[in-house]
Structure 1
Amino acid sequence: MGTDNNHARRNHQRPHFNLEVFQRFIHKAASGSMPLFTAAVLAVIWANVSPYWYREFWNTPLYFGIGGWNIEKTALNWINDGFMALFFFTVGMEIKREFLVGELASLKMALLPVTAALGGMLVPMLIYSLFNHGEPTFKGWGIPMATDIAFSLAVLSVFGKGIPVGLRIFLSALAIADDLGAVLVIALFYSSGISIMHLAAAVGLVACLYIANRLWVRNILVYIVLGIGIWLAVMGSGMHATIAGAITAMFVPARGRYDTDMFTEDAKKMLHRFECAETDCKESMMLDQEHLEAVLDIEMACRKVETPIQRMEYNLHSWVAYLILPVFALANTGLVIGEIDFTAAFTQPVTIGIILGLVAGKPAGIFLFSFLSEKILKTPLPKDVGWKHMAGVSMLGGIGFTMSLFISGLAFTRPEFASYAKVGIICGSLISAIAGFIVLKLVSKKPKAHGDG
């Protein structure tokens, strides 16, 4: 995060939390759950109506090349290595924003959700490892560690004002800290055959990102080009290519060309140019050259005060929510029900480990570590949030759909293990969503109708 983090610390003893911005973030994250869910359902239907064409379609080889240099991957691999790099890029920007001005911006603010996320990763991992120790499926220990922010926030959004805002803030911070943990797990434990030459190239390009940030380069194209170069280098290094997205995001500038005071001063001068006598103002701005130029100047000033990370996150969020994640779900969720012996599936260590990891391990880890944090580290619970609320939201932490599917794809190459993992992820996530909903329904307050005393 480089100089951006230092700047935030110098100018904000405790960053101001913008509730309106957070509510927009919640709305976007929750609304993205519907296309994701729809795509997952369609994937299961497609895979069962025509299993052969489903597999053949996603295993179609696609080529990309320039001159004598080319890359060949299946459609599925392009989605998981390429599309998902953009997903990890947006996750990285969300993590950076939270560390600069959000719920993770200071030790006091971050301690509770980070501690809860740590518990929500360790306990499921231990449960899964207990059932899969010594088994060929042991490598899947990372599958039940993740929380799907879109689905979990979508469940919370059902309750409207019946749930404290602080609970939504806690869950979003928890999920983002959880995503950071998932990125580190993928980078450290789901990589193989490291190529020093490619890794050195990636490090060199990351150094160029850092220098660009230090030199106040605010042209987004520079970061896009360097990010693509890092993606190619990381892919060749043996680390998973999606990590390039998270790394690049850490160096996208979080400061604009203008500071706020300069923008405010200039904007006042520009707005002053709109003052005119009642009979002098034209019906159309196109008829008044002075007004037209003032609007263009205001637009340029807005671009200069807007931070590159803010602009890129805003522009990419809809693409990720409505295209990238649904396509990922469509390509990865296809489960051919007729090919699975469910009696055998629910006795497999991988399925049991994932279901228990999500349904029992996640809530136990989140709740226990939150309780210990409050009692030992004296971190207060969010405003108006009680331990019953925390129990419900801890259960929602067991909705691990997107990241769990992604990690299962990295962990297993054998089709039967991949299928058992999908059964565990889908069942565990559904049970967690239903259990969390029931608990929160019991403790939620019904908003007063208009006119109630």
Structure 2
Amino acid sequence: MLRAFFKTEAGGTSVLLVATVLAMVWANSPWADTYEAFWHLPMGLSFGDAQFSLDLRHWVNDGLMTVFFFLIGLEVSYEVRLGQLRDRRLIAVPAVAAFGGMLVPAGVYLALNFGGPGAGGWGVPIATDTAFVLGVLAVVGARCPDPLRAFLLTLAIVDDVLAIMIIAIFYTASLQVTALVVAAVLLAAIVLLRWLKIWRAPAYIALGFGLWVATLESGIHPTLVGIALGILVFVYAPSDQKLLLAGEAVQEFTTEPSARAAREATRRVQRAVSVNERLQLRLHPWSSYVIVPVFALANAGVRLDEESLRAAMTSPVTLGVVLGLLIGKFAGISLGTWLPLRFGWGILPGNLVWGQLLGGAAVSGIGFTVALFIVDLAFEDPAIHSQAKIGILAGSLLSAALGWVIFRLAWDRGGVCAPPEAEPDEELPDVLSVPVGPDDHVRGPASAKVTIVEYGDFECPYCGRLHPILEEILRKNPDVRLIFRHFPIRTLHPRATSAAIVSEAAADQGRFWEMHAILYDNQRFLTDADLEHYAAELDVSPWEDVAGHTSRIALDEASGKESGVRGTPTLFLNGRRYKGGLDLQSISRAVEELRGSP
């Protein structure tokens, strides 16, 4: 789910950027007057004497963007029930970082604007634009991308929820009680349908549209409706029964193909997956490639003539937004990440070092979608409106540049995970210090011509990428054997040691390599509960001899350090350190050379 989300958001960044540039060009062209004129065209519905009308910009901001926030609600619901937010230890750090990334920028902005006409815009620099952030990460090429992106996505989810709460609480001008009561009744009707397990799409669409209109009329921003409805959508893991029925239907279709069998197979396969996930799959492309770019086209157009730029350079609103995004976000997220780690409130999702975290904190200062959204709610003065938008553009560009510089300077081993302090000054030995013995985990014949010793870490993503490559080499070369030795990097991978302990428990039952495969196939899910589940699958008692297994792991670590191992994965071929590429072609070539040597 996360991987598909990243791909869609990163791809949509290009479309969003094009829409932003187009809006800027349009607003500064000889036809600039048509920009505002077009987005102020009225459009509405009428039922007899009753009329409901908004201009085009409000249809985009209040209507289409509700779908965007509906998707945020879906994502929150999924992550809390099935995704990364299940693990409270993983939530703590990005959640506190999100709080810091909102409080500090707001404080920086108010320090420059408190008591002035722009004071109400303190909410502008608080939000992070996920799509642009993921796009920048794709450009700078973070060396351990999956955990960093997972961390930033969790941060962005918390950030979005807090931003919506701020919009609802602080940017609601007045309330219409009657409309608010109607909205509450319609929301209760939707909850009732859900409780009764009535899944009729037309009913939900009609009630949802009525709820949106009532909320808009009540004075509360309708984006709150979007996230509320998204959270209410059912999400569940596929049950064994539904998977069995889907498999039977597919088998029936492959045995006797027919239109009826195809329809039944399609229906059962769809029902095996939750409505939440199906809606995300269908709506994410529309949100990333249509809705958000249209929003940018409608709101990013700001005049950049000499007069407006001169006013912006001395405007406390512009400076507040720029410094809030550039300095406030960076400082707030960095501090909010350090505090929970310092006091042990939570853990990081994987192999992250401070250079990557600081780079992520910097690019999180790219505030666009929600920032423009709040500008429209916070300011009525066109001049201040323009100055705030210029601040958003300048602050976002500077944040992207700062993040790029930090990523360039960040420590990088280019395909090997190791803590920064692990890099020694002395020349590393090339020979395996402890030969392969009876206590090693060996896969392959004792008479093998080539012996590969891998020092690995079950949470290291590079080890995970190497795993199928080594499997392929063993499959193609029966005269090659593999030895796995533990080298958990605790400063980067908080769950690596627990995973290694469970693998040793499996080894006591003669099932090390089965557990080895399970752990590498499920690297993102290595909590204690996950490990206990894997152990139960193999009928293994995971924590029966923790002290003994820890001692066994320590022996591997000691042999690795004596052999000059400083990061994972590190390979030794026939007792000599392998220094080539960690890809199938390079390792296969080295194996062939050793096979042909006398």
Q: Same fold (TM over 0.5)?
A: yes
Q: 1:40-439 to 2 correspondence within 5 Å? A: 40-49=20-29, 50-160=31-141, 162-255=143-236, 260-273=239-252, 291-338=258-305, 340-439=307-406
CA contact (8 A) 2:187 2:211 kept: yes
Other structure's SS at 2:84 match: coil
Q: Structure 1: how far apart are the matches of 2:55 and 2:263?
A: 46
Q: Structure 1: how far apart are the matches of 2:147 and 2:163?
A: 24
Q: Residue 31 of structure 1: which of 8, 11, 34 is its match?
A: 11
CA contact (8 A) 1:401 1:429 kept: yes
Structure number with higher relative contact order (C-alpha < 8 Å, ≥ 6 residues apart): 1
CA contact (8 A) 2:104 2:324 kept: yes
Q: Structure 1: how far apart are the matches of 2:114 and 2:86?
A: 38
Q: Structure 1: how far apart are the matches of 2:277 and 2:202?
A: 15
How far off is 1:339 after superposition?
A: 6.2
Question: Structure 2: which 5+ residue stretches go unaligned?
Answer: 416-580, 588-598
Other structure's SS at 2:199 match: coil
Q: Structure 2: how far apart are the matches of 1:305 and 1:203?
A: 32
CA contact (8 A) 2:108 2:320 kept: yes
How far off is 1:265 after superposition?
A: 2.1
Q: Structure 2: how far apart are the matches of 1:223 and 1:154?
A: 34
Compared with structure 1, are the counterparts of its residues 231 and 275 closer, same or farther at alpha carbon in structure 2 (3 Å cutoff)? closer
Compared with structure 1, are the counterparts of its residues 345 and 267 closer, same or farther at alpha carbon in structure 2 (3 Å cutoff)? closer
| Deviation by residue 1:198-250 (Cα, 9 ceiling, x = unmatched) | 11111111111211121122333332222111101100101112222112212
Other structure's SS at 2:43 match: strand
What letter is aligned with 2:102? M
Equivalenced residues, count: 419
How far off is 1:446 after superposition?
A: 3.8
| Deviation by residue 1:261-311 (Cα, 9 ceiling, x = unmatched) | 1122223433443576xxxxxxxxxxx5x5443322211112222222222
Compared with structure 1, are the counterparts of its residues 357 and 452 closer, same or farther at alpha carbon in structure 2 (3 Å cutoff)? farther
How far off is 1:38 after superposition?
A: 0.4
How far off is 1:88 after superposition?
A: 1.2
What letter is aligned with 1:360? I
CA contact (8 A) 2:144 2:351 kept: no
Q: Structure 2: how far apart are the matches of 1:102 and 1:358?
A: 29
Other structure's SS at 1:65 match: strand
| Deviation by residue 1:304-360 (Cα, 9 ceiling, x = unmatched) | 222222222221111111111111111111111126432331221111110010000
Q: Which moved more, 1:81-90 or 1:157-166?
A: 157-166
Q: Structure 1: how far apart are the matches of 2:204 and 2:320?
A: 41
Q: RMSD value over aligned CA atoms?
A: 1.9
What letter is aligned with 2:249? M
Question: Structure 1: which 5+ residue stretches go unaligned?
Answer: 1-20, 277-287
Q: Structure 2: how far apart are the matches of 1:61 and 1:378?
A: 52
Compared with structure 1, are the counterparts of its residues 200 and 426 closer, same or farther at alpha carbon in structure 2 (3 Å cutoff)? same
Q: Which residue of 2 aligns with 1:10?
A: none
Q: Which residue of 2 aligns with 1:280?
A: none
How far off is 1:111 after superposition?
A: 0.8
Q: Which moved more, 1:384-393 or 1:298-307?
A: 298-307
CA contact (8 A) 1:253 1:309 kept: yes
What letter is aligned with 1:345? A
Compared with structure 1, are the counterparts of its residues 51 and 267 closer, same or farther at alpha carbon in structure 2 (3 Å cutoff)? closer
Which structure has the larger Rg over C-alpha atoms? 2
| Deviation by residue 1:58-84 (Cα, 9 ceiling, x = unmatched) | 111222222222112111111111111
CA contact (8 A) 2:82 2:236 kept: no
Compared with structure 1, are the counterparts of its residues 331 and 268 closer, same or farther at alpha carbon in structure 2 (3 Å cutoff)? closer
Other structure's SS at 1:320 match: helix
Other structure's SS at 1:72 match: strand
Q: More helix per residue: 1 or 2?
A: 1
Identity of aligned residues (%): 37
Q: Structure 2: how far apart are the matches of 1:34 and 1:133?
A: 37
Other structure's SS at 1:71 match: strand
For normalisation by structure 1, the TM-score amounts to 0.88
CA contact (8 A) 1:40 1:333 kept: yes
| Deviation by residue 1:85-122 (Cα, 9 ceiling, x = unmatched) | 11111111112212222222232221111111010011
CA contact (8 A) 1:270 1:294 kept: yes
Q: Structure 2: how far apart are the matches of 1:35 and 1:340?
A: 30
How far off is 1:130 after superposition?
A: 1.0
Other structure's SS at 2:398 match: helix
